[in-house]
């Protein structure tokens, strides 16, 4: 793309009003206004396009709840009051509760006695709360569940900050590697052979393995791990299948990924990473939202010309307020030039990606009215 060309304009209202689009995923690095953007889009879809919308955040920060006038968010969609009244639209909000979602999966796919056994297992208690990758697996589960319910016209997902935002794309493959791993097969072997624990398998083939693992992990930990793996064995296959189904949904035309950034080098570099990764995974990238963009009321007056005029007034010893205003304009114009140069780098690499710029706001957004303003700014033609 040449310097005088511009990327296509991102038409947000077309996406939000399209009944064929059921999922919008907002991803981007931290501190770029991603959570605010997700909330504003969900609100606009409900109010302006009459869609039954739910916004799901995976980021545990409280910003989304506060901006929607809610005291807190949890694993259950909560209605946002005053939205969509008198129309077909509505807005609910929720935050992924990793452990509770895992518990719900167990309850849905095992009998009560087996579920109680799993819940009491110390290894399950640790894995369902802190184990690396569990959050991504549960995000896939929750998104798939919301999608399968058919209750929502549109699901807006606010992903975690930084590159971990796309970790859920790896969830099916990572889960598959875990399930197919040699260690897991060894731990499952005794359970599949008749329900005995690892320690009951003092045979020539497994005795050495049991003793070595017991020495490394400790007897109690190995007992907990073996019991956990055996208890979950029956539901792992379905877990992987559902994760893969959700992955396919994310690749489908009913999903729109929006990369959110600010006109700063680090944020645009992360945006480029997201765009490349989505392309590799054949995920539908709808466009780039660039927040906190600066400009001037007189764009034809360059920073250089403004500084020269300010210097001329100063040399003449008159119109000091005018000279100050010109210097302020020059600083703002120079900032706008730098921001355009930064975002031009993304446009050069991804000339086909539609983009919308959102002017920097004078104050942080912290309520419904502020979200409406952001939604309007994102959607301006």
* Structural domains in the chain (count): 1
The per-residue pLDDT for 196 is 47
Domain membership of residue 170 (yes or no) is: yes
Going by their DSSP bridges, the two strands 78-79 and 90-95 should be labelled as: antiparallel
The position carrying tokens 């790896």 is 170
Backbone φ/ψ region at 79: left (φ over 0), alpha (ψ -120 to 50), beta: beta
Q: Do 173 and 166 form a contact (C-beta atoms < 8 A)?
A: no
Q: What is the CATH number of the domain that holds 98?
A: 3.40.50.300
Domain membership of residue 1 (yes or no) is: no
Question: Residues with Cβ < 8 Å from 55, sequence gap 6 or more?
Answer: 38, 39, 42, 64, 91, 92, 93, 94, 155, 156, 157, 158
State which residues of the chain have pLDDT below 70.
1-5, 59-61, 130-133, 161-166, 168, 171-238
Domain membership of residue 194 (yes or no) is: no
The per-residue pLDDT for 208 is 44
Domain membership of residue 220 (yes or no) is: yes
How distant is the alpha carbon of residue 317 from its chain centre? 55
Question: Residues with Cβ < 8 Å from 150, sequence gap 6 or more?
Answer: none
Residue-wise pLDDT for 80-117, tens only, equals: 988 877 788 999 999 888 888 888 888 887 888 888 88
Domain membership of residue 336 (yes or no) is: yes
How far, in Å, CA of 275 to CA of 272, rounded?
Answer: 5
Domain membership of residue 6 (yes or no) is: no
How far, in Å, CA of 321 to CA of 309, rounded?
Answer: 12
Domain membership of residue 289 (yes or no) is: yes
The per-residue pLDDT for 373 is 93
Closest alpha carbon to 128 in 162, 159, 96, 151 = 96
Quote the pTM value: 0.83
> For residue 225, what are the domain limits?
12-189+201-379
Domain membership of residue 5 (yes or no) is: no
The per-residue pLDDT for 58 is 77
End-to-end CA distance of the chain: 22
Task: Please give the C-alpha separations between residue 56 and each of 25, 65, 76, 78, 143, in angstroms, as whole numbers.
Answer: 10, 11, 10, 10, 8
Other C-beta atoms closer than 10 Å to the C-beta of 50 total: 15
């Amino acid at each position: 793309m040449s310097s005088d060309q511009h990327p296509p304009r991102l038409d947000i209202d077309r996406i939000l009003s399209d009944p064929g689009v059921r999922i919008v995923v907002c991803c981007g690095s931290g501190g770029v206004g991603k959570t605010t953007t997700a909330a504003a889009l969900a609100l606009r879809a409900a109010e302006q396009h009459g869609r039954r919308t739910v916004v799901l955040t995976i980021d545990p920060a409280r910003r989304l709840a506060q901006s929607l006038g809610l005291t807190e968010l949890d694993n259950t969609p909560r209605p946002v009051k005053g939205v969509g009244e008198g129309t077909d639209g509505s807005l609910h909000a929720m935050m992924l509760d990793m452990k509770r979602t895992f518990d719900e999966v167990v309850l849905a796919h095992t009998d009560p006695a087996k579920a109680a056994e799993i819940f009491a297992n110390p290894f399950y208690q640790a894995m369902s709360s802190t184990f690396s990758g569990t959050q991504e697996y549960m995000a896939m589960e929750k998104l798939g569940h919301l999608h399968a319910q058919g209750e929502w016209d549109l699901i807006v997902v606010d992903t975690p900050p930084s590159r971990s935002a796309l970790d859920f794309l790896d969830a099916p493959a990572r889960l598959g590697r875990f399930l197919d791993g040699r260690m897991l097969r060894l731990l499952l072997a005794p359970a599949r052979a008749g329900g005995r624990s690892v320690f009951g398998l003092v045979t020539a083939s497994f005795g050495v393995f049991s003793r070595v693992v017991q020495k490394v992990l400790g007897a109690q930990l190995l007992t907990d791990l073996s019991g956990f793996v055996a208890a979950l064995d029956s539901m792992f296959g379905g877990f992987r299948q559902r994760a893969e189904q959700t992955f396919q949904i994310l690749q489908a035309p009913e999903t729109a990924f929006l990369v959110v950034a600010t006109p700063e080098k680090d944020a645009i570099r992360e945006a480029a990473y997201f765009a490349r990764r989505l392309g590799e995974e054949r995920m539908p990238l709808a466009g780039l939202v660039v927040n906190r963009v600066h400009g001037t009321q007189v764009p034809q007056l360059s920073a250089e010309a403004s500084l020269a005029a300010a210097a001329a007034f100063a040399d003449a010893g008159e119109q000091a307020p005018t000279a100050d205003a010109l210097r302020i304009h020059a600083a703002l114009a120079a900032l706008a030039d730098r921001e355009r140069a930064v975002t031009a780098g993304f446009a050069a690499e991804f000339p086909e990606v539609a983009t919308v710029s959102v002017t920097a706001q004078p104050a942080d957004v912290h309520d419904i009215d502020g979200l409406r303003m952001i939604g309007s700014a994102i959607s301006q033609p």
